Amino acid sequence: MKGDTEEGTDEHNNKEDSIRIRRSTFNKIALGAVAALAVATFFGGYLLGGWNAGLVGSGGGGSTTIAESQQGGGGLEAVVPTAPSQQAPSPSPPQKIQSVSLDGAITLGKQDAPVTMVEFGDFQCPFCKRHFDDSFNQIKQEYVNPGQVKYVYMNFPLDKHPNAKPAANAAECANEQGKFWEYHDALFSNQTEWENQDATNATATFKQYAAGMGLNADQFNSCLDSNKFQNEIDQETQQGSSYGVSGTPTFYIGNEKAGYTAVEGAKPYASLKQTIDRLLQQG
129/41 same-domain check: no
Q: How do residues 39-91 score in pLDDT, each as one tens digit?
A: 444 444 333 333 333 322 333 332 222 333 333 446 898 775 544 444 444 55
Q: Kindly tell me if the per-residue pLDDT of 174 is higher than 70.
A: yes
pLDDT computed for residue 121 by the predictor: 98
Q: Is 99 a member of any domain? A: yes
Beta-carbon neighbour count of residue 199 at 10 Å?
10
Q: Is 232 a member of any domain? A: yes
Q: Is 108 a member of any domain? A: yes
Q: Kindly tell me if the per-residue pLDDT of 247 is higher than 60.
A: yes
In total, how many domains does the chain have?
2
155/32 same-domain check: no
- Mean pLDDT over 144-155 rounds to 98
Tell me, yes or no, if the pTM score tops 0.85: no
Euclidean distance between CA atoms 241 and 245, whole angstroms: 5
44/140 same-domain check: no
- The chain-wide mean pLDDT, for the chain, equals 79
pLDDT computed for residue 80 by the predictor: 59
Which range, of 24-28, 59-63, 242-246, averages the lowest pLDDT? Answer: 59-63
**1 CB-side CA count, 13 A:** 0
**Is residue 173 within 8 Å of residue 220, measured between CB atoms?**
yes
The amino acid present at 13, given as its one-letter code, is N
162/198 same-domain check: yes
271/225 same-domain check: yes
pLDDT computed for residue 283 by the predictor: 73
pLDDT computed for residue 92 by the predictor: 53
Dump the DSSP string for 151-202: EEEEE---TT-TTHHHHHHHHHHHHHTT-HHHHHHHHHHTHHHHTTS-HHHH
Q: Is 68 a member of any domain? A: no
- Strands of the sheet containing 259-264, edge to edge, are 106-108, 149-155, 115-121, 250-255, 259-264
Q: Please list, in sequence order, all residues whose beta carbon lies within 8 angstroms of the beta carbon of residue 64, skipping any fewer than 6 positions away.
A: 78, 79, 80, 81, 87, 90
pLDDT computed for residue 62 by the predictor: 29
- Mean pLDDT over 224-230 rounds to 97
Burial track 98-125 (b if 16+ CB lie within 10 A, e otherwise): eebeeeeebbbbeeebbbbbbbbbbbbb
Q: Kindly tell me if the per-residue pLDDT of 101 is higher than 50.
A: yes
Which range, of 50-59, 132-141, 262-271, averages the lowest pLDDT? Answer: 50-59
- Mean pLDDT over 97-113 rounds to 94
pLDDT computed for residue 7 by the predictor: 40
Q: Which long-range contacts (CB under 8 A, 24 or more apart) does 232-236 make?
A: 232/104, 232/155, 232/172, 233/155, 233/157, 233/165, 233/168, 233/169, 233/172, 236/105, 236/120, 236/154, 236/155, 236/156
pLDDT computed for residue 172 by the predictor: 98
Last residue of a domain, one of 13, 32, 61: 61
250 three-state secondary structure: strand
Please state at what angle helix 230-243 crosses helix 164-176, rounded to 10 degrees.
Answer: 110
Range of the domain at 35: 1-61
Last residue of a domain, one of 11, 31, 61: 61
Q: Kindly tell me if the per-residue pLDDT of 164 is higher than 50.
A: yes
pLDDT computed for residue 236 by the predictor: 97
50/86 same-domain check: no
pLDDT computed for residue 70 by the predictor: 38
The amino acid present at 270, given as its one-letter code, is A
